[in-house]
Amino acid sequence: MPSLEQVRGRLEAAGQAHALQFWPELSEAERRGFLQELAQLDLQGLREHCEGAARAAASPAPSLDPHMEPVPPESIGSVRKSDEDSLAEWESEGLLRISENRVGVLLLAGGQGTRLGVQYPKGMYDVGLPSGNTLYQIQAERIHKIQELADGKHGSKCTVPWYIMTSEFTLAPTEKFFKENNYFDLEPSNIVMFEQRMIPAVTFDGKVILQEKGKIAMAPDGNGGLYQALVDNKVLEDMKKRGVEYLHVYCVDNILVKMADPVFIGFCVSKGADCGAKVVEKACATEPVGVVCRVRGVSQVVEYSEIQRETAELRGPGGELVFSAGNICNHFFTRAFLQDVAENYKGQLKQHVALKKVAFVDTCGNQVQPTKPNAIKMEKFVFDVFPFSRNFVAFEVVRQEEFSPLKNADGASDSPTTARNALLAQHCRWARAASATLLDERGDTLSPPTSASAADNPPALCEISPLVSYFGEGLEQLLRGRTLTTPLLLDRKRAQELLMKSSIDRTRDV
């Protein structure tokens, strides 16, 4: 480890000598810890990082509107607009690749649940389902089920490895949570957790912020830190060793995410794509989601804050939004493409400016909780590699079936209530599609919701375990003609009971 004098010299060269202003007040243990933290910083690149952050915050990005155009039709697939044969063909292709151990999933889980109001990783959150399952539990069960579906079709014994990118904040609690839950009955060796880099938060004039007298305020480098983390942690080598060629990358907070979705995987593979994105039709012109489009002929995501209102409101001849492909952080990559990014492009990723409120110690050593943004955090986004793709595709999915993020505490949009209700509503649709009748606790028949607002018209408490059904398949033999009282939790045990009852009923009929 470098000496204090060496670190002091590097800090001065970077214009950050103030970081040591409270050094005389630190205990011996605090000095050792702080010196170790400073030694791990890229002090050589610190000046460039801080000056770049200050310049970026002071200079608005040039308008992209004149150069934007929608993704061409030949590069877009759609669940809504495709015929049943095409969907079945893509699903079959995806299940084949999964059965051959060529598909992995990668979870972006480096952020904390700050907006949600908790001090632990979002994946550990219980949204209040009848089962009490957390997001991690739901996702693990979907991995179990997709392996089972692929094995059932192809007579294989396949594995979908689960790569989980954490941060300094989330690694230890995530590891502990998985261990305490027996890795959700997945093989521990097939769950690979790794950590993304942390970078300093800086003031508007380019100075690193002291969170404490002996600690710099650090933050994960955004989900686009994935590409550096793949290199740092030799994840691509692990994928190659396992034979993984296709990767489904997604964000932890989407309760409806389809792990290793065979339809999406199959579509991308059949198109020969090296990079793909699931999208949903924007709910309205001003919905705060990024838009998947082309800029100067190159595929990319343009953030909603970067699009002028008149561009967002442009409509086609049928009245549809021209820029309607909302990004939901749900992506397909080939391993070869990720290797190419790691070797040739990761240093070219765009830096995005985020203005944040970061607690700090002032020049007198007093702890301050700011009431307005006082810091710049520079972030990279996972979708910033789209421009490097040689064959990019987009795949439109139905929002109510595949996208309900958990971001905020109750009382706002994208909350535990909206996420829970989205999943319950989906499972009610599945049960009714399987010809089941749902009753409330008084024995009255429950009608499908008529209001688009889950808060005004919450769905029945009908939860179907992913271990029973991945996307609604296989339920008809269990539920057809049945009258079921809610709250209902259709887990594997309950499914076995219904299956046995159906067998007894058929025997009696004979």
- Token pair, residue 492, equals 């594997």
Residue 155 lies in a domain: yes
Beta pairing class for 275-281 and 325-334: antiparallel
Residue 1 lies in a domain: no
In 416-510, which ranges are continuous DSSP H helix? 416-433, 476-479, 492-509
Beta pairing class for 367-368 and 437-439: unpaired
In angstroms, rounded to a whole number, what is the distance separating the alpha carbons of residues 257 and 267? Answer: 17
pLDDT mean over 156-174:
96
229 lies in the same domain as 346: yes
Q: Which of 369, 402, 435 is the last residue of a domain?
A: 402
In angstroms, rounded to a whole number, what is the distance separating the alpha carbons of residues 314 and 323? Answer: 7
Give per-residue pLDDT as tens, 337-389: 999 999 999 888 888 888 888 999 999 999 999 999 999 888 889 999 999 99
Name the amino acid, one letter, at 495: A
Q: How confident is the model at residue 162 (pLDDT cuts 50, 70, 90)?
A: very high
pLDDT mean over 25-50:
85
Rounded percentage of the chain residues whose pLDDT exceeds 90: 75
Question: For 141-155, 225-239, 297-311, 448-462, which range has the lowest pLDDT when averaged over its residues?
Answer: 448-462
Between residues 110 and 172, which one has the greater pLDDT? Answer: 172
Q: At what angle do helices 262-270 and 84-99 cross, to 10 degrees?
A: 100
Whether the Cβ atoms of residue 39 and residue 5 lie closer than 8 Å to each other: no
117 lies in the same domain as 158: yes
361 lies in the same domain as 431: no
Q: Which of 402, 426, 447 is the last residue of a domain?
A: 402
- 344, with CB counted inside 10 A (0-12, 13-18, 19+), is exposed
- Token pair, residue 45, equals 């690149």
Q: Determine the pLDDT at residue 508.
A: 46
- Token pair, residue 372, equals 């307005």
Split into its structural domains, the chain has a count of: 2
Give per-residue pLDDT as tens, 454-501: 445 689 999 999 999 999 999 999 999 999 999 999 999 999 988 887
Q: Which of 355, 371, 402 is the last residue of a domain?
A: 402
421 lies in the same domain as 398: no
> For position 178, which CATH number holds?
3.90.550.10
365 lies in the same domain as 477: no
Give per-residue pLDDT as tens, 386-435: 999 999 999 999 999 999 999 999 988 899 999 999 999 999 999 999 99
- Token pair, residue 259, equals 């792990």
Give per-residue pLDDT as tens, 60-117: 777 899 999 999 999 999 999 999 999 999 999 999 999 999 999 999 998 877 788 8
Residue 104 lies in a domain: yes
Rounded percentage of the chain residues whose pLDDT exceeds 70: 96
- Token pair, residue 204, equals 């508007």
Helix (H, G, I), strand (E, B) or coil at 271: coil
Residue 48 lies in a domain: no
Residue 101 lies in a domain: yes
Measured on CA atoms in the order 428, 429, 435, 439, is the torsion positive or negative?
positive
> Domain range for residue 361?
65-402
367 lies in the same domain as 494: no
Q: Determine the pLDDT at residue 392.
A: 98
Name the amino acid, one letter, at 429: R
> For position 468, which CATH number holds?
2.10.10.100
Residue 466 lies in a domain: yes
Q: Determine the pLDDT at residue 377.
A: 85
320 lies in the same domain as 444: no
Q: Determine the pLDDT at residue 449.
A: 66
Whether 453 shows a pLDDT value over 70: the answer reads no
Residue found under tokens 């995987």 = 265
Residue 242 lies in a domain: yes
Give per-residue pLDDT as tens, 115-154: 888 889 999 999 999 999 999 999 999 999 999 999 999 9
Between residues 3 and 126, which one has the greater pLDDT? Answer: 126
Whether 290 shows a pLDDT value over 80: the answer reads yes
